[in-house]
């Protein structure tokens, strides 16, 4: 029984939560000195420790702790004054020790929040915990149809990734977002990604796996106050998938409940192609990881001084930046959001720093340049033009040297690699013709070529001058200041 999203929301209130794993951008692994560079030859970045060879021992990477504290502070968490690592015990070929060193009931950071802007409103997402753990190796499954586990004959394991530091960020459950749940979930992941990027702790590329999300969803019967069973959805590899997986789970669970069934607590797999989740292999029994404190590592007790020095080193966080820019640029939340979603904040700010007005900077980046970026299929920041150059073009327009049309041509030239804006103006001869005498000769030609129109203007129909102006603009290939031309035409014909 299929239920539409809208129908589902009439009967149920969704509650969601997110667990995000972030690969830290440290130079070396969590517990050993192997490098963390992506894409190395298989098993060329391993040592006795990350390979879990008998007798090997872990030693904590100080920078990983610092990055995790940074993340915790940026998410308004309390930082533990004393905590331990714990072993999470289970057997799996991509885990060399058959246990993962993680944290259990003593996370490094806890009880924080992240404010996200959705549709002009601020929603506060509670953060349950932020903790550190080690990543696993990677398996290639050989012999099956799709390269996935089902039907594979054997697997090939590469441990280069084993031991890379991971930070796990877990939200508290988020109720009360109603039909906006998918959007809020997406906005949270987006904001989290931006926070992490601004901290410089990870390159947070979902497509490359340095940021992975698991989405938990449950439904509560409207007005019952009782939360339902939640499912966990994995393989959510993009912002769009975060939104779609919440949406599809809401519909699916509503369908199950409406038909009188029970939602099974299980792990589901999201499929990008069909936009739906399917059931993962359900487990016979809940996994008992037999957590106990990691005996090979001593407790981590960050001093207050250390935590404060990390706090002092925090950059301006996205929410602070948003407040600042909303105020400085007199923007609406929606305008800001569209700029942020277009990835334009950095370039626009830089353009303003280079001397343009915020309105002009926005106009160029969100308009003409955004169009070109879309056409070329690249992000704004990767266009072949700098904020300083855009500021220069804007300045040339303000000074009257260029009009909008000419400015667009100058942009073309810069993007094509012809040089700086001034060099392009020079080479292509794009300056607005401001010399009246040059204009007058074009005007006289146009008048001579359009005698009937000229007669109308002389007899008082000033609007008709537009034809003459148009002809002059064409003759000058748009390099005239249209307003000035009009003045001169009317003068000439009066």
Dist. CA 442–CA 492, nearest whole Å = 12
Binding to other proteins by residue 27, rule CB under 8 A? yes
Dist. CA 418–CA 179, nearest whole Å = 50
Nearer Cβ to other proteins (126/293): 293
Span from 119-127, 192-200, 219-227, 295-303 in contact with other proteins (CB under 8 A): 295-303
In the set 157, 326, 354, 388, which binds other proteins (CB under 8 A)?
A: 157
Q: Name the nearest CA neighbour of 119 among 55, 178, 49.
A: 178
Q: Name the nearest CA neighbour of 102 among 86, 82, 89.
A: 86
Host H or E run for residue 65: helix 62-74
381-402: buried (b, 16+ CB within 10 Å) or exposed (e) per residue? eebebebebbbbbbbbbeeebb
Quick note: the x/- pattern for other proteins over 259-278, rule CB under 8 A, is --------x-----------
CA dihedral for 125, 127, 130, 136, sign (positive or negative): negative
Binding to other proteins by residue 338, rule CB under 8 A? no
Residues 196 and 211 sit within 8 Å (Cβ to Cβ): yes
Q: Which two tokens stand for residue 86?
A: 């714990």
Residue 108: CB minimum distance to other proteins, A: 13
Binding to other proteins by residue 330, rule CB under 8 A? no
Residues 213 and 4 sit within 8 Å (Cβ to Cβ): no
Span from 47-55, 218-226, 426-434, 470-478 in contact with other proteins (CB under 8 A): 47-55
Q: Which two tokens stand for residue 24?
A: 């830290």
Nearer Cβ to other proteins (32/345): 32
Q: Name the nearest CA neighbour of 64 among 143, 144, 134.
A: 134
In the set 120, 147, 176, 299, which binds other proteins (CB under 8 A)?
A: 299
- The interface with other proteins within residues 121-140 (CB under 8 A) comprises 136, 139-140
Nearer Cβ to other proteins (161/340): 161
Binding to other proteins by residue 290, rule CB under 8 A? yes
In the set 293, 355, 466, 470, which binds other proteins (CB under 8 A)?
A: 293
Dist. CA 219–CA 66, nearest whole Å = 38
- Any idea what the Cα angle at residue 240 is, between residues 234 and 243, rounded to 5°? 70
Nearer Cβ to other proteins (119/299): 299
Q: What is the dihedral of CA 374, 378, 381, 382, to 10 degrees?
A: -130
Binding to other proteins by residue 304, rule CB under 8 A? no
Who contacts 228 (Cβ-Cβ below 8 Å, separation ≥6)? 12, 15, 218, 219, 220, 221, 253, 257, 263
Nearer Cβ to other proteins (302/318): 302
In the set 205, 222, 240, 281, which binds other proteins (CB under 8 A)?
A: 281
Nearer Cβ to other proteins (109/396): 109
- The interface with other proteins within residues 72-91 (CB under 8 A) comprises 82, 84, 87, 89-91
Host H or E run for residue 235: strand 231-236
Residue 313: CB minimum distance to other proteins, A: 16
Q: What is the dihedral of CA 135, 138, 141, 147, to 10 degrees?
A: 90
Binding to other proteins by residue 309, rule CB under 8 A? no
Span from 33-41, 68-76, 192-200, 240-248 in contact with other proteins (CB under 8 A): 33-41
Binding to other proteins by residue 45, rule CB under 8 A? yes
Cα distances (angstroms) measured from residue 450 to each of 92, 408, 467, 485: 85, 30, 8, 16
Residue 83: CB minimum distance to other proteins, A: 10
Binding to other proteins by residue 53, rule CB under 8 A? yes
Dist. CA 222–CA 466, nearest whole Å = 64
In the set 52, 107, 228, 421, which binds other proteins (CB under 8 A)?
A: 52
Number of chain positions touching other proteins (CB under 8 A): 75
Residues 142 and 110 sit within 8 Å (Cβ to Cβ): no
Nearer Cβ to other proteins (145/226): 145
In the set 1, 4, 57, 314, which binds other proteins (CB under 8 A)?
A: 57
- The interface with other proteins within residues 92-111 (CB under 8 A) comprises 92-94, 96-99
In the set 16, 159, 188, 364, which binds other proteins (CB under 8 A)?
A: 159
Span from 72-80, 107-115, 299-307, 464-472 in contact with other proteins (CB under 8 A): 299-307
Binding to other proteins by residue 163, rule CB under 8 A? no
Span from 63-71, 109-117, 171-179, 385-393 in contact with other proteins (CB under 8 A): 63-71
Nearer Cβ to other proteins (34/344): 34
In the set 18, 22, 65, 406, which binds other proteins (CB under 8 A)?
A: 65
Q: Which two tokens stand for residue 21?
A: 């794993």
Nearer Cβ to other proteins (296/491): 296
Alpha carbon of residue 450 to chain centroid: 56
Binding to other proteins by residue 292, rule CB under 8 A? yes
């Amino acid at each position: 029984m299929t239920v539409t999203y809208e129908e589902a929301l009439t009967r149920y209130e969704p509650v969601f939560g997110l667990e995000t794993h972030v690969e830290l951008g440290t130079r070396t692994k969590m517990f050993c000195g192997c490098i963390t560079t992506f894409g190395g030859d298989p098993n060329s970045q391993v040592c006795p420790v990350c390979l879990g060879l008998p007798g090997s021992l872990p030693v904590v990477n100080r920078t990983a702790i610092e990055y995790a504290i940074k993340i915790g502070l940026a998410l308004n968490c309390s930082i533990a004054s004393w905590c331990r690592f714990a072993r999470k015990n289970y057997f799996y070929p991509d885990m060399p020790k058959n246990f993962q060193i993680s944290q259990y009931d003593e996370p490094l950071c806890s009880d924080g929040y992240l404010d996200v802007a959705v549709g002009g409103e601020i929603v506060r997402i509670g953060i349950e915990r932020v903790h550190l753990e080690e990543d696993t190796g990677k398996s290639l499954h050989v012999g099956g149809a799709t390269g996935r586990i089902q039907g594979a004959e054997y697997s090939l394991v590469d441990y280069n990734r084993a031991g890379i530091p991971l930070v796990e960020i877990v939200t508290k459950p988020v109720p009360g977002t109603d039909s906006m749940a998918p959007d809020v979930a997406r906005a949270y992941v987006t904001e989290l990604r931006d926070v992490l990027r601004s901290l410089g702790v990870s390159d947070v590329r979902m497509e490359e796996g340095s940021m992975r999300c698991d989405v938990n969803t449950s439904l509560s019967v409207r007005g019952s106050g009782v939360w339902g069973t939640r499912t966990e959805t994995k393989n959510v590899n993009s912002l769009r998938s975060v939104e779609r997986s919440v949406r599809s789970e809401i519909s699916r669970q509503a369908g199950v409940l409406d038909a009188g069934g029970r939602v099974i607590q299980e792990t589901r797999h999201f499929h990008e192609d069909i936009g739906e989740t399917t059931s993962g292999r359900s487990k016979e029994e809940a996994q008992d990881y037999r957590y106990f404190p990691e005996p090979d590592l001593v407790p981590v007790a960050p001093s207050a001084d250390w935590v404060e020095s990390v706090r002092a080193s925090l950059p301006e966080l996205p929410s602070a930046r948003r407040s600042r820019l909303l105020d400085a640029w007199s923007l609406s939340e929606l305008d800001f959001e569209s700029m942020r979603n277009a990835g334009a904040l950095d370039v626009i700010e830089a353009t303003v720093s280079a001397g343009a007005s915020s309105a002009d900077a926005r106009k160029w980046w969100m308009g003409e340049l955004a169009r070109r970026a879309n056409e070329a299929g690249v992000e704004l920041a990767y266009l072949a033009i700098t904020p300083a150059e855009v500021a220069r073009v804007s300045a040339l327009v303000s000074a009257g040297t260029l009009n909008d049309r000419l400015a667009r041509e100058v942009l073309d030239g810069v993007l094509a690699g012809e040089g700086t804006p001034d060099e392009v103006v020079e080479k292509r001869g794009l300056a607005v013709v401001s010399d009246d005498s040059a204009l007058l000769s074009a005007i006289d030609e146009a008048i001579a070529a359009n005698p009937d129109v000229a007669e109308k203007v002389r007899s008082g129909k000033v609007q008709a001058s537009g034809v003459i102006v148009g002809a002059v603009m064409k003759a000058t290939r748009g390099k005239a200041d249209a307003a000035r031309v009009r003045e001169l035409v009317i003068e000439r014909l009066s």
